[in-house]
Amino acid sequence: MKRITSQLKYVLVLFVLTLSVSCSTEDGMDGEQGPQGEQGPAGENGVDGNANVTSVVLEGFNLVTGVNPINVPELTADIFNNGFVEVYASIDPSAWLTLPIQVEVETGGENADGSPETAIVNGIELLAIENGRVILNSIVEGTIDLRFVLVQGTPSTTVVL
């Protein structure tokens, strides 16, 4: 019995040693790419989709200091109740900016070096979205282009907390 146990230990050690030497973490080279398979059958045509997004551009809007109500007839009750609205403004034709647009204004004070004290404030901001119109607030005047991106949604679920 002692001899069998000794031989079994010897075989087990030999097996573990063989296994550790023969296994490697490195892979060999991949073989050549096989031939292209046959083309499968054509699928059925689906229904054309639509993300239900409308972009409305208002060029040359005369922005005044204070409240600026803007009629947007494409802003329907369905979009107002279930969708969302993004508003962009363009002062420079090369870029659309998201609101609010911040501007630097002088506060009337002076810095330690004697230069005018300034602050960054919202120059043009979105005040409200209503059915059929958007209301902006502005501390600057001028002509700007506006883009309203209107996205339809589905009726929302109300969660009571």
What is the predicted pLDDT for the residue at 60?
93
Closest CA to 99 of 126, 128, 120: 126
DSSP codes of every residue in 44-91: PP-PPP---EEEEEEEEEEE-SEEEEEE-TTS-HHHHHHSEEEEEEES
Q: In this structure, is residue 27 part of a structural domain? A: no
pLDDT tens by residue, 121-155: 788 999 999 999 999 999 989 999 999 999 998 88
Q: Nearest-CA neighbor of 103 among 74, 125, 86, 73?
A: 125
Whether 80 is in a domain gets the answer yes
Number of domains composing the chain: 1
Query: Model's pTM, two decimal places?
Result: 0.61
pLDDT digits (tens, 9 = 90+) for 30-51: 888 888 888 888 888 877 666 7
| 160 falls within a domain | no
Residue 146 domain boundaries: 53-151
pLDDT score recorded for residue 26: 67
Query: Residue 94: inside a domain, yes or no?
Result: yes
C-alpha distances (whole Å) from 53 to each of 50, 85, 86, 114 are 8, 10, 11, 51
Is 23 within the bounds of a domain? no
| 90 in a structural domain | yes
- Residue 115 in any domain: the answer is yes
Does residue 32 form part of some domain? no
**Predicted confidence (pLDDT) per residue in 15-27, tens digit:** 555 656 555 566 6
pLDDT bucket at 80, cuts 50 / 70 / 90: very high
